Amino acid sequence: VWDRVASIQALKEPLDSGDAKAVSEQLQLAWEQMSKAGLALPFARGMAEEILSLEALASDPLALRLGLLADDYEGVALEATSVPKELEFARSIALGEPGEAPEEALCQAISAAFATPAPPLPQALTALLDEQRLGEALLAALKSLSHGGDTDPAELSGALAFLRAIGLEDTARRVALQILLLDTPT
């Protein structure tokens, strides 16, 4: 615990003084600490806005990764002027306009879920919807997504498409971004 506290304090010091170079160095250490502890998402949500407020870090790959995991992911994606190649697909998901997906099965599955026209929904989920069991269908979709990047690609795609179909576009984008950005190395 104290190592994580120390890493945040070491990040806050240059952040408060506006030293972008020192922030960039400390950010990597803090990210590693938080990721190892399973705290990467709360870390991103708590720190992204302040880190991205430093103009020199606006195109830093790790700072952008944090921004795409934060609450204002779409705003971060819109404001990003220089996006590294490894984050282009994540940015397109944040904007709700997935571009060409990388060849990896995970990216292809996510891209399919956001395609137009929408892919057919999984039979098990549509059967629950037909029986007016929306809550149960939602729980089943979320359970499908609970394995993150280890989820079967077809199941992942179907669950994300289901979330979108029932009006949970924001949730689908957030889940897709979390899977893309937390289940892949920096």
DSSP string, 64-97: HHHHHHSTTHHHHHHH-SS--GGGHHHHHHHTT-
- Structure tokens, 6: 């120390």
- Structure tokens, 157: 């795609």
Q: What are the residues whose beta carbons fall under 8 Å from the beta carbon of 65, sequence distance 6 or more?
A: 44, 87, 90, 181, 186
DSSP letter, residue 119: P
Considering the entire predicted model, what is its pTM? 0.89
Distances (CA, A) of 182 to 108, 118, 150: 17, 25, 12
Distances (CA, A) of 138 to 9, 20, 89, 127, 158: 40, 42, 26, 12, 12
SS3 33: helix
Q: What is the pLDDT of residue 5?
A: 87
Closest by CA to 181, choosing from 75, 53, 81, 77, is 77
Q: Can you tell me which residue has the tokens 């039979």?
A: 123
- As a residue count, the chain comes to 186
Query: pLDDT tens track of the chain, all 186 residues?
Result: 788 888 889 899 898 888 888 898 899 999 998 999 889 999 999 999 999 988 888 788 999 999 999 999 999 999 988 888 899 999 999 999 887 888 888 999 999 999 877 788 899 999 999 999 999 999 999 999 988 888 888 899 999 999 999 999 999 999 999 999 997 654
Give 135: exposed, middle or buried? Use CB within 10 Å, 0-12, 13-18, 19+: exposed
> How many other CB atoms are found less than 10 A from the CB of residue 69?
24
Q: What is the pLDDT of residue 184?
A: 61
- Percent helix, strand and coil across the chain, each rounded to 5? 70, 0, 30
> How many other CB atoms are found less than 10 A from the CB of residue 108?
15
Closest by CA to 57, choosing from 34, 33, 80, is 80
